[in-house]
Chain A
Amino acid sequence: MNTYDVAVIGGGIVGSAIARLLGGTALSVALVEARDDVGDGTSKANTAILHTGFDAKPGTLESRLVARGYDLLGRYAEATGIPVERTGALLVAWTREQLDALPGLRAKAERNGYTACEIVDAAEVYRRVPALGPGALGGLTVPGESVICTWTTNLALATDAVNRGVRLLRGHRVTAVHRGPDATRLVTTAGELSARWVVNAAGLGADALDALFGHDRFTVTPRRGELLVFDKLARPLAPCIVLPVPSSAGKGVLVSPTIYGNVMLGPTAEDLTDKAATGTSEAGLEFLREKGAELMPRLMAEEVTATYAGLRASIGRDDYLIDLDAGQRYLLVGGIRSTGLTAGMAIAEHVADLLKGHLDLVERAGLPAPPRMPNLGEAFPRPYQDAAAIAADPEYGRVVCFCERVTRGEIRDALASVIPPAGVEGLRRRTRAMNGRCQGFYCGARVREIFEGEQK
């Protein structure tokens, strides 16, 4: 049985960021993920906004880490090629009350260290987003809010971790924990391992894992968010992220461009009990349709490309729950609710700070360069558009998925990458193949065949 210095449980954005950071030290690290792929939990299904943190609750750990994460991930994206579009956001007030709330929101942003917000009148709101439904009274600009590719973020962090020597164990669900004097033995669905330290970054499963360490301090409630993704032809309707004025019920329904060139409407917010309930619901889709008709009637005339649902890890408090238990050599990273994509790298930094007194975290010399990720962003050059790339390798000129213009070369590369996809779903997240408006009408059979052919 392998013994690692640290085992990080959970291959979402948070766990991958932590493993990557620890992997840059002299420590031996394992990244343990229950599913057959990284980023298959909450990290694959969110609204994919790189938040400035302007509306966080000032003074919280979350507010600090979101702001820090915004910078860290922004820079990391440049280094690795994770696509980011600096679209900015516009928070729109539809009622008198909401209009009156704007100065307070701006002041709150300033307390969060974000000073770029401006209050604008209705005319300016419609100048920025002409397709908005009637009745907007004014707005607040958040120039820094951006859209990012959550799939590439997760994959870049995990790939970087593996490149740095982290042992990635996919398909390993931790089912039992046995504490010994020097190391903790983890029983998983695919064998055992042991580690001197354990980091719990298990997202929705963090409370169950915490219980295996004998704690009873929080419950994760899966808060479902359902989303509609509209056709790329709708993209001109949403030049920036359109946010509602937040209420006690959460951030509310937004209209946002996606990094893939679509427009997204959502999410809903609904507390469930089943942590695997990532299906969509009749009521949720109906609600989104009603909301969409108010917010942007013209959007509703466009085709829907995809519907999906993600589950936030709500723990009934206004902050993250990150806690180090020195006696058990155990660190909990819990309650990373709706900002974990942005904050992930900063959470990793914070975790490292907490571990510093206990482990030697000096960065190793000669670390490999960050991985260069294939671009999935619609606003940046893709292989099918790149004459030089095709001239050098005709496979980049062989379009397989027509709607998303994914080439045979990109699929081949994904299948041969450091963390190859375990299935067609994973291939979708690495290439966009089959994600387009036809959802496989044309390319589904061929993509599956290529996937299975290359597997052999």
Chain B
Amino acid sequence: MTERVRVAVIGGGPAGLTAAATLAPSVDGDVLVLEREPETGGIPRHSDHPGYGLRDLRRFVSGPAYARRLTRRARDAGARLETEAMVTGWAGPRTLEVTSPHGRRLVQADAVVLATGARERPRPARLIPGDRPDGVYTTGQLQNLVHLHHREVGRRAVVVGAELVSWSAVLTLREAGCRTVLMTSEYERPEAYAAFHLPGRLAFGVLVRARTRIVAVNGRGRVTSVDIEDLGTGRRRRVPCDTVITTGDWIPDHELARTGGLEMDAATLGPRVDTSLATSLPGVFAAGNLLHPVDTADVAALDGRHVAAAVLRHLAGDPVPGGGVPLVAEAPLRWVAPQLVRPGGPPPSRGRLLLWADAFRTLPRVTATQDGRVLGRVRLPWPAAPGRVFRVPFSLVADADPAGGPVRLSLE
């Protein structure tokens, strides 16, 4: 069976729901959101603490409230939201294979928006050796267990990572009656501690060890301890615990982007997009954490709003301009999103480029160069810190020569 729609949005998280809410009133025909979970809302559904909606809704609400609000807005705007509907592959350039309890079908769309989000790398992907006991979770699984399924976790947890999401894990653990006895970070200093005051204070008393890595998980049946190593001295010691949370370390859910043959960015591991959020495939767009693993939900949502303009231009038959200059992040910058600036193209969402840094800088200076020429330089009043996105104004690269080579972004 084949169904035809005007726009298919894959993923009903903040990015997908907001894209659908923005598009539905202006699109003549169906805007269909396909979401594989039983509920729309994406990650905020199980992130049951305040911290959502500042930039898009201009209010500060809890994750579940935010998820409900975005869902309502998309529905009220006239988008069709289908849950328990998983896109499992492509049957053509804009034709999706979909499985749901209602059947197996193809959905053919004039435009596709990929908004499949990002997740944390689980323990095996981080190659943490040792036994394979129960009690090792990502933050995502932990929050699912606690907030959606009201499950018990252990009593003593070690949290691997000290990013924003790591503090989110600490809050959830606390709520579940599990004490965080240690947080570890491989970086020079805990990524988010200084910057993220609220949870930092709430979780006051948690011991955070920087320059520390986990070298083994111990326990048969249930976790009994972890072994940690001080990266400076090489000294190792054993920390008793019954729960280990591996946090942060993001990877986009890029399966559909890759199997669809989209050009991928080797640094974000998401699809390469231009400032309008068009991918390399005509009529296929992307938004949210799939592109920048990982930023806050409101930024993902604003991507969804931003991508609508490009989708509408495509539906109106305007061709995407060719060419453009690539943006390249240089170490210690890890990635930049979007990655392509086209002549005459719009500025990116919120007029900002998103960057990820692997080193801490208090007053970072970012320089853009093209073919050896300095295009621009900004000093930012906020720090660059591992474990969270930092943003630079697009004006930095706006003067790039459309016929020139790649624009390199470096951190001083």
Contact = CB atoms under 8 A, between A and B. Distances in A.
B327 interface: no
B5 interface: no
Given A385-B104, A440-B141, A445 B88 contact: no
Nearest to A233: B258
B122 A397 contact: no
A445 B146 CA distance: 9
A402 B119 contact: no
Contacts of B145: 444-445, 448
Nearest to B227: A282
A448 B151 contact: yes
B140 A442 contact: yes
Nearest to B215: A282
Interface string B64-88: 0000000000000000000010101
B403 interface: no
Interface string A365-384: 00000000000000000001
Contacts of B137: 440, 444
A448 B216 CA distance: 25
A438 B129 contact: no
Given A402-B86, A439-B124, A446-B149, A391 B99 contact: no
A398 B141 contact: no
Given A281-B129, A399-B84, A442 B119 contact: yes
Tell me the interface secondary structure of chain B in the complex.
Answer: mixed
B129 A284 contact: yes
A423 to B, nearest CB: 9
Given A279-B129, A305-B124, A441-B141, A397 B104 contact: yes
B174 interface: no
B138 interface: yes
A423 B130 CA distance: 21
B127 interface: yes
Nearest to B120: A441
Contacts of A303: 121, 125, 251
B235 to A, nearest CB: 15
A439 B138 CA distance: 9
Interface string A227-245: 0010011000000000000
A405 B132 contact: no
A3 interface: no
B148 interface: yes
A445 B259 CA distance: 28
A446 B100 CA distance: 17
A394 interface: yes
A71 interface: no
B149 A233 contact: no
B399 interface: no
B98 to A, nearest CB: 10
B280 interface: no
B155 interface: no
A250 B369 CA distance: 54
A276 B36 contact: no
B124 A397 contact: no
A26 interface: no
Given A278-B132, A279-B132, A282-B216, A399 B36 contact: yes
Interface string B253-272: 00100110000000000000
Given A445-B144, A445-B149, A282 B129 contact: yes
Interface residues on A, range: 35 or more
Contacts of B151: 445, 448-449
B144 A446 contact: yes
Given A438-B119, A445-B144, A445-B149, A280 B102 contact: no
A399 B103 contact: no
B220 interface: yes
Interface string B300-324: 0000000000000000000000000
B88 A405 contact: yes
A439 B126 CA distance: 12
Nearest to A303: B125
Contact of B124 (A284, A307, A385): A307
Contacts of B138: 438-441
A445 B140 CA distance: 10
B103 A387 contact: yes
Interface residues on B, range: 35 or more
Nearest to B46: A445
B377 interface: no
B188 interface: no
Contacts of A438: 119, 122, 138, 140
B84 A398 contact: yes
Contacts of B130: 279-280
Nearest to B125: A304
Interface string B110-131: 0000000001111111010111
A391 B99 CA distance: 11
B101 A304 contact: no
Nearest to A383: B99
B99 A385 contact: yes
A390 interface: yes
A420 B102 CA distance: 28
A187 B54 CA distance: 66
A438 B43 CA distance: 14
Nearest to A306: B124
A440 B86 contact: no
A308 interface: yes
A442 B140 CA distance: 7
Nearest to A449: B149
A360 interface: no
Residue of A280, A439, A444, A446 contacting most chain B CB atoms (<10 Å): A439
Contacts of B102: 394, 397
B270 to A, nearest CB: 13
A119 interface: no
A212 B182 CA distance: 47
A285 interface: yes
A444 B141 contact: yes
A439 B129 contact: no
Contact of A439 (B97, B99, B123, B259): B123
A391 B103 contact: yes
Nearest to B133: A279
Contacts of B258: 233
A294 interface: no
A284 B84 CA distance: 40
Contacts of B100: 397-398
21 contacts: A229-B124, A233-B255, A278-B132, A279-B131, A280-B132, A384-B104, A394-B101, A398-B84, A399-B84, A402-B36, A405-B86, A405-B88, A405-B99, A438-B122, A438-B138, A441-B120, A442-B37, A442-B140, A444-B145, A445-B144, A448-B151
Given A397-B103, A448-B149, 8 more contacts: A233-B259, A279-B216, A307-B124, A384-B104, A398-B101, A441-B141, A442-B119, A445-B145
Please give me the 5 A-B residue pairs with the lowest Cβ-Cβ distance, nearest first. Answer: A439-B122, A394-B101, A445-B144, A387-B104, A441-B140
